[in-house]
Amino acid sequence: MKTLLMPLTSKLRRFEELDDILRTLKILVDGLYDSEVSPSSKEEVCRESREFDAVIALALTGGVEEMLLGVGEAGKPLIIVAHDQLNSLAASLEASSKLREMGSPSWIIEAWIPGARKKIESTLKGIEAASRLSGLKIGLVGDISPWLVYSEPDPNSLKEIFDIELVEISMEELYSKIESSKVDQDLMDEVLRNAKRVEISESDLGEALRVYQALKEIVKEYGLDALTIRCFDLIKDLRTTACLALSLLQDDGIVAGCEGDVPSLLSMILGKLLSNSPTFIANISEIGKDYVSLAHCTIALSIVDEYHLLTHFESGIGVGVSGRIYDGGRVTLLRFRPDLRKIRVIRGMILDGNPSKMLACRTQFRIKVEGDPRRIVEDPLGNHHVMVLGDFVDAVKSFCTLKGIEVEVL
């Protein structure tokens, strides 16, 4: 993504303090832009903006409202950095109000507030994710799991909001590829060597790795950016699981989700774009006064401190992954409504990343959350939630502004 920096000043009067203010603001945005220009008219602003994906404007004085509108006329997202002198904020408020009326996205970041740079960085991340989460090709292997009675995606929203192509692939095609797949012995040795505990047979591990090889082949053959699979059919038909395969695909950089849940797959893709890291799709297993518990039988091996290879929880068959995170850290939980026109965002911190419940899926996390977690029960948007490592709430907000998606922050 290419970002342009524009310091803007009024022609009315030159203040001696401007150089110091400009120097301070440029330190704030250092490293966040690719090029810089200092235009003096709305027309020049519009012309210069067209070559970039986003614009950061330093509103150095009042009287720059018209120039700020030039970014909107160029159709580019605008971050306005305001300071607390020379009517900078006054001009920013007036221009941003008009830009929003025009349907042109803009954000005001007050330079004097704590965390101003992080807000600018987060806004840019959201802008970049909005440009990249379009035109993707995602695979639905074997249709949606029958118990996902609410989480069926809206094909119109997939096309209208994200311009995403959904490719349907039969389980029979997957089974054929599994049958012809061979176990990568080096990979098997590596997975076993790095596991903290192993309670499965090498035979079961080999079958799980054949599923991985087959799904990799499907990704390559169809040119997929991500996939989700009706994974429980594997248990019934082949007595194996996709849990480890999905873990390894995530480690390969391929977003891979469970149970044919397309809305959750979109949450996973968004989380990956924002964090540049694999995400964790999970069931909600418990809700307390200020926490939620998540559980599932797959997680990317690259994001955990250690992992155990156990059986799949519900069936006792195949391979389930029990991942542990001991260091805690900030996380963001995401859940799209199936029509993809609303997303719920929850800011949290890992309280406990060491599984303790015997009667729950193998990987478990207890997350202390901001806001009232009872909203998840009182106004549910479905089951699966996606955990992203890091705080990306502001980035999700800017992403949704560009995509016209309603945001609910818990």
Residue at 71 is within a domain = yes
Identify whether residues 200 and 347 lie together within a single domain. Answer: yes
Query: Contact, 246 vs 258, CB < 8 A?
Result: yes
**CATH code at 63?**
3.40.50.10940
Shared-domain flag, residues 85 and 150 = no
Question: Would you state the pLDDT for residue 357?
Answer: 84
Domain boundary, last residue among 113, 148, 165 = 113
pLDDT (tens place) for every residue of the chain, 410 residues total: 999 999 999 986 677 788 999 999 999 999 999 999 999 999 999 999 999 999 999 999 999 999 999 999 999 999 999 999 999 999 999 999 999 999 999 999 999 999 999 999 999 999 999 999 989 999 999 999 999 999 988 888 899 999 999 999 999 999 999 999 999 999 999 999 999 999 999 999 999 999 999 999 999 999 999 999 999 999 999 999 999 999 999 999 999 999 999 999 999 999 999 999 999 999 999 999 999 999 999 999 999 999 999 999 999 999 999 999 998 899 999 999 999 999 999 999 999 888 778 888 999 999 999 999 999 999 999 999 999 999 999 999 999 999 999 999 98
The C-alpha angle 385, 388, 394, rounded to 5 degrees, equals 100
Beta bridge partners of residue 396, listed in sequence order: none
Q: Tell me, yes or no, whether 283 and 322 share the same domain.
A: yes
Tokens encoding 365: 């996390």
CA 36: distance to chain centroid? 29
Cα→Cα distances 170→24, 156, 215, 229, 323, Å: 58, 22, 12, 10, 30
Contacts of 201 (CB under 8 A, 6+ apart): none
Please report whether residue 131 resides in a domain. Answer: no
Give me the CATH number covering residue 308. 3.20.14
Last-in-domain residue among 64, 80, 113: 113
Residues 85 and 153 in one domain: no
Residue 173's nearest CA partner among 232, 235, 219 is 219
- What's the 3-state SS for the chain? CCEEEEEECCCCCCCCCHHHHHHHHHHHCCCCCCEECCCCCHHHHHHHHCCCCEEEEEECCCCCHHHHHHHHHCCCCEEEEECCCCCHHHHHHHHHHHHHHCCCCEEEEECCCCCHHHHHHHHHHHHHHHHHCCCCEEEEECCCCCCCCCCCCCHHHHHHHHCCEEEEECHHHHHHHHHHCCCCHHHHHHHHHHCCEECCCHHHHHHHHHHHHHHHHHHHHHCCCEEEECCHHHHHHHCCCCHHHHHHHHHCCCEEEECCCHHHHHHHHHHHHHHCCCCEEEEEEEECCCEEEEEECCCCHHHCCEEEEECCCCCCCCCEEEEECCCCCEEEEEEECCCCCEEEEEEEEEEECCCCCCCCCCEEEEEEECCCCCHHHHCCCCCCEEEEECCCHHHHHHHHHHHCCEEEEC
pLDDT for 119 equals 96
| Residue 280, pLDDT score | 98
**Residue 92 and residue 154 in one domain:** no
The angle at the Cα of 127, spanning 122 to 131, to the nearest 5 degrees, equals 145
Whether 270 and 393 map to the same domain: the answer is: yes
Burial string for 344-360 (b: 16+ CB within 10 Å, else e) reads bbbbbebebbebeeeeb
User: What are the angstrom distances between the C-alpha of 359 and each of 150, 282, 315?
Assistant: 25, 15, 12
Same domain (yes/no): 107, 141? no
Q: Are residues 284 and 361 in the same domain?
A: yes
- Which residue bears the tokens 């924002």? 274
pLDDT score of 13: 65
> What was the pLDDT predicted at 92?
98
Give me the sign of the Cα torsion angle 139, 142, 148, 149. positive
**Domain for residue 239, yes or no?**
yes
pLDDT of residue 353: 84
Geometric angle at alpha carbon 323, from 186 and 360, rounded to 5°: 125
CA distance 300 to 363: 11
Same domain, 33 and 142: no
In a domain, 214, yes or no: yes
Q: Which two tokens stand for residue 304?
A: 């955990």
Same domain, 215 and 141: yes
Q: Please check whether residue 124 lies inside any domain of the structure.
A: no
Q: For residue 281, give the amino acid letter.
A: I
Domain presence at residue 123:
no
Q: Cα dist. 369→116, 122, 275, 333, 376 in Å?
A: 23, 20, 19, 9, 12
Q: What domain range is 12 assigned to?
A: 3-113
Report yes or no on 322 lying in a domain.
yes
Please report how the helices 65-73 and 42-49 are oriented relative to each other, as an axis angle in degrees rounded to 10. Answer: 30
Residues 98 and 198 in one domain: no
Does residue 93 sit in the same domain as residue 184? Answer: no
Query: What's this model's pTM, rounded to 2 decimal places?
Result: 0.94
Task: Provide the token pair at 321.
Answer: 């992954």
Structural domain total, the chain: 2
Tell me whether residue 119 is in a domain.
no
